């Protein structure tokens, strides 16, 4: 399990070292029932925003900027997110998020456009390199940073097909892409050594409350001394952190269970990640998700990424709904989903657009079933550290996104599809549709860096007030959390 003493020590050090970047509003967030984990999931090909959002039953768009998903539907012609209907209380749909940082072009050797190869921007918050196969220049991804702050043995990085770093999700401290694992059995071994044995439920739990409280109080004393030397807004920020640290104090005897982790190192999945055809994509995605959920439950990991295909494997073309769309009549029997449907979609009109839309949305609808499968796997696994008996879904913040947004090829930095799911309800609104800006505006933008800050806050790292490109750190429009998303 996670070493709680290490967690408190790391948290105290971070609070003292990073206090001036804090956000006072989030210091009062509700204490989690169990430790919160983070998972980022990506599927390819972007999305047509108009068929990705939920709608009213009469087909109209949501009437306000913040509406309950329970009053809306994903079931309409060419809708993409039909698979999300059973999960509406566990997700929030963000409408109008932009990777605006890609357009800043603040230094040499950058590419101020957003297409397939700039997808590293989504988790690094950084501007894309001019060399589209290059690294992100000392900009790590959010999962990598949170892994270092939260503390756990393993940072998991999985992919359903498509190994290599060209289209990866996770980036190290140097901004270099981390090669994902495509074999669920190998992913399992990264998390669970062969001799790993779960804790014995009959072993008495050790109460570290007195020792942990001493550590916290030392941190409080250090902050109090710092507060006495400050004034104004900086003094207010320190005061906010002192309030947050008080929430960590524990009553001796109020001991959390050591857990009901039941996974053994010998229980290697039988799925090896082989993909003979499109029908095997979801089983592999489920196998990866199950390993990640088990690793989270057993304290072997607290952060992970899962890439479910990228744009070039041709599995989308094999999906029966895509085959039935009429695209073969336009391109011939050997047409390909990405190179034909996706590339041509944004410039099409009339009957041609109607045909491409049927095929494009059918492929994305298939992808949504994979994300629903991930939620299902997390819902199945009890969280042994949740005294309320919640699942891993209840205690994991899941960020689902695509590699680009709504617009023509290489101009896809606007209206990025994004869904927040799972355990964000303590600090993030769930069960909502949130329209973040005037969707029709050609100039208004909501930088996705603010979402990355919100995700950091959701897992307890409220000292983070900016995440992304170093040249934008002092730019106020990139700072702070995404306010409409915050509870």
Mean of pLDDT values over 5-24 = 36
| pLDDT value of position 220 | 78
Is pLDDT at 29 greater than 60 in this prediction?
A: no
Q: Which domains does the chain have, with CATH numbers?
A: 1-30+206-255 (no CATH), 36-199+267-485 (3.40.720)
Where are the alpha helices (H) located in 298-349, listed in sequence order?
A: 315-318, 320-323, 327-331, 343-345
The model's confidence at residue 247, banded by pLDDT at 50, 70 and 90, is low
The model's pTM? 0.84
Lowest mean pLDDT among 71-80, 128-137, 413-422: 128-137
The model's confidence at residue 174, banded by pLDDT at 50, 70 and 90, is very high
Mean of pLDDT values over 326-343 = 92
| pLDDT value of position 30 | 43
Report d(CA 162, CA 284) in Å as an integer.
Answer: 13
pLDDT tens by residue, 282-298: 999 999 999 999 999 99
| pLDDT value of position 117 | 63
Report d(CA 390, CA 387) in Å as an integer.
Answer: 8
In percent, the amount of the chain with pLDDT more than 90 equals 68
Report d(CA 32, CA 245) in Å as an integer.
Answer: 14
Taking each helix axis from N to C end, the angle separating 209-228 and 4-18, rounded to the nearest 10 degrees, works out to 0
End-to-end CA distance of the chain: 29
Please state, in angstroms and as integers, the Cα–Cα distance from residue 331 to each residue in 147, 323, 326, 334, following that order: 46, 12, 9, 7
Query: Of all residues in the chain, what percent are helix, strand and coil, respectively (each to 5)?
Result: 40, 15, 45
Burial class from Cβ neighbours inside 10 Å (0-12, 13-18, 19+) for residue 485 reads buried
| pLDDT value of position 211 | 74
Q: Which regions of 436-487 does DSSP assign to beta strands (E)?
A: none
Report d(CA 451, CA 420) in Å as an integer.
Answer: 10
Q: Residue 390, Cβ neighbours under 10 Å: how many?
A: 17
Mean of pLDDT values over 353-378 = 98
Query: Which candidate, 81, 268, 95, 304, places its Cα nearest to that of 192?
Result: 268
pLDDT tens by residue, 453-482: 999 999 999 999 999 999 999 999 999 999
| pLDDT value of position 478 | 98
The model's confidence at residue 314, banded by pLDDT at 50, 70 and 90, is confident
**Containing H/E element for 301?**
strand 301-308
Query: Which candidate, 218, 260, 224, 228, places its Cα nearest to that of 242?
Result: 224
Q: Are 146 and 138 in contact (CB under 8 A)?
A: no
Is pLDDT at 148 greater than 70 in this prediction?
A: yes
Please state, in angstroms and as integers, the Cα–Cα distance from residue 102 to each residue in 46, 114, 256, following that order: 16, 7, 44
Mean of pLDDT values over 314-333 = 94
Q: Residue 367, Cβ neighbours under 10 Å: how many?
A: 26
CA 343 to chain CA mean position, Å:
26
Q: Which has more pLDDT, 154 or 408?
A: 154
pLDDT tens by residue, 112-124: 887 766 789 999 9
The model's confidence at residue 133, banded by pLDDT at 50, 70 and 90, is confident
Report d(CA 49, CA 61) in Å as an integer.
Answer: 11
| pLDDT value of position 254 | 55
Q: Which has more pLDDT, 415 or 201?
A: 415
Lowest mean pLDDT among 21-35, 113-127, 334-348: 21-35
Query: How many Cα atoms sit within 13 Å of 233 on the Cβ side?
Result: 5
The token pair that represents 60 in the structure block: 């109209």
Per DSSP, the three-state class of 441 is coil
**Containing H/E element for 432?**
strand 432-435
Q: Are 484 and 471 in contact (CB under 8 A)?
A: no
Query: Which candidate, 178, 179, 176, places its Cα nearest to that of 137?
Result: 176
Mean pLDDT taken over the chain? 87
């Amino acid at each position: 399990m996670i070493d709680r003493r290490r967690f408190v020590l790391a948290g105290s050090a971070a609070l003292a070292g990073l206090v001036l970047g804090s956000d006072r509003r989030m210091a009062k967030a509700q204490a989690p029932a169990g430790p919160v984990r983070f998972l980022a999931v990506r599927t390819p090909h972007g999305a047509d925003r108009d068929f990705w959002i939920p709608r009213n039953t009469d087909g109209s768009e949501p009437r306000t900027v913040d509406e309950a998903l329970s009053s809306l539907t994903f079931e309409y012609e060419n809708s993409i997110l039909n698979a999300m209907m059973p999960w509406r209380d566990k997700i929030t749909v963000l409408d109008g998020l932009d990777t605006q940082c890609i357009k800043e072009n603040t230094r040499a050797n950058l590419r101020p456009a957003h297409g397939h190869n700039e997808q590293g921007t989504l988790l690094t918050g950084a501007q894309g390199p001019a060399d589209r196969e290059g690294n992100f220049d000392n900009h790590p991804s959010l999962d990598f940073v949170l892994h270092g702050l939260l503390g756990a043995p393993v940072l998991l990085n999985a992919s359903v097909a498509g190994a290599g770093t060209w289209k990866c999700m996770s980036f190290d401290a140097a901004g270099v892409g981390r090669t994902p694992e495509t074999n669920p059995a190998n992913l399992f071994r990264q998390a669970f050594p062969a001799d790993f044995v779960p804790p014995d439920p009959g072993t008495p739990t050790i109460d570290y409350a007195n020792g942990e409280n001493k550590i916290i109080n030392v941190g409080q004393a250090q902050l109090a001394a710092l507060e006495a030397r400050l004034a104004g807004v900086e003094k207010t920020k320190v005061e906010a952190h002192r309030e947050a640290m008080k929430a960590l104090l524990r009553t001796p005897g109020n001991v959390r269970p050591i857990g009901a982790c039941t996974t053994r190192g010998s229980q290697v999945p039988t799925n090896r990640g082989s993909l003979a055809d499109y029908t095997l994509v979801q089983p592999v995605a489920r196998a990866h998700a199950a390993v990640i959920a088990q690793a989270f439950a057993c304290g072997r990991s607290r952060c992970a990424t899962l890439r479910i295909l990228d744009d070039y494997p041709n599995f989308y073309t094999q999906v029966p709904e895509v085959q039935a769309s009429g695209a073969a009549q336009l391109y011939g029997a050997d047409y390909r989903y990405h190179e034909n449907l996706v590339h041509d979609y944004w410039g099409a009109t009339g009957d041609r657009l109607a045909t491409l839309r049927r095929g494009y949305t059918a492929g994305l609808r298939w992808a949504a079933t994979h994300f629903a499968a991930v939620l299902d796997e997390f819902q199945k696994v009890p969280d042994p550290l949740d005294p309320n008996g919640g699942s891993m879904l209840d205690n994991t913040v899941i960020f689902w996104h695509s590699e680009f947004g709504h617009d023509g090829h290489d101009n896809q930095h606007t209206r990025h599809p994004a869904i927040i799911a799972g355990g964000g309800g303590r600090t993030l609104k769930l069960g909502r549709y949130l329209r973040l800006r005037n969707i029709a505006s050609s100039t208004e933008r909501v930088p996705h860096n603010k979402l990355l800050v919100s995700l950091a806050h959701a897992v307890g790292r409220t000292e983070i007030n900016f995440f992304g490109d170093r040249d934008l750190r002092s730019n106020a429009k990139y700072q702070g959390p995404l306010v409409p998303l915050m509870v």
